[in-house]
Amino acid sequence: MNRIINPFTSFYETIDIHGETTETVVYVLETFIKDSIKLKNKDLVIINGKCSGKLKNKNNEILKRNKNVQEFYIDMYNEGCTIVHLHID
């Protein structure tokens, strides 16, 4: 079966957090968001995979707490990716 790929997310900065623990993903994501703000990257993709949900739940918790995150949602073409939009001034 061919998977439809969202053509817009290929232009976004991407990070793959497969294999990270729920403790280490905090540092990885916060650093990724800080670096993206410095580089003026407003749109990001976080690849967390379709796992049991622990990593995705931690990912969502971090994004909800971060004041620089405007919104985030699951990619409709790939449930293993989270699309993030940042506040860039």
pLDDT confidence of residue 80: 86
Which domain does 81 fall in, by range?
9-86
pLDDT (0 to 100) of residue 77 = 83
**1 inside domain:** no
* 18 CB-contact burial (10 Å; exposed 0-12 / middle 13-18 / buried 19+): exposed
Residue 30's CATH number: 3.30.1370.110
Q: What is the pTM of this model?
A: 0.85
Q: How long is the chain?
A: 89
Structural domains of the chain, count: 1
Report mean pLDDT in 10-residue bins for the chain, 89 residues: 60 88 92 95 90 84 95 88 90
Residue 11 to residue 21: CA distance in whole angstroms: 27
Extended beta strands in the chain, E state = 13-16, 43-47, 69-74, 81-86
